[in-house]
Amino acid sequence: MPRVEVTIGPQKHAFDMEKGESLLFEAISRSVMIPFNCTSARCGICRVKVLEGAENLNEVGDREILRLGEEKVEQGFRLACQTHVFGDVKLEVPQPRLY
């Protein structure tokens, strides 16, 4: 059973989930509040950065590349609503910049 560790600002969360399930929906069901809006790769709000275990996720899809851009994808960013987990992974939810 994959183990997911998520850092959101100062908070650290960890949970186990069924292999192949949606990262976003599993997180929300455990009250790990990854921000989201559309759940369909349109808003980009559910952006997460993969710190470890990228090989344990589904491949980055065309819709993610369109929304995030190739540079962010190469830096390890994913859309949680498009990400399915098949093994252990560590993630960070980027905090919005304050200008």
| Binding residues for ligand FES (CB under 6 A) | 36-39, 41-46, 79, 81
Neighbouring-strand partners of residue 14: 5
**Which residue bears the tokens 């344990």?**
56
Q: Tell which residue, 2, 79, 68, 99, has the closest CA to residue 34.
A: 79
CB of 63 to ligand FES, least distance (A): 8
CB of 92 to ligand FES, least distance (A): 16
Nearer to ligand FES, 10 or 70 (CB): 70
**Residue 41 near residue 67 (C-beta atoms within 8 A):** yes
Nearer to ligand FES, 28 or 51 (CB): 28
CB of 41 to ligand FES, least distance (A): 5
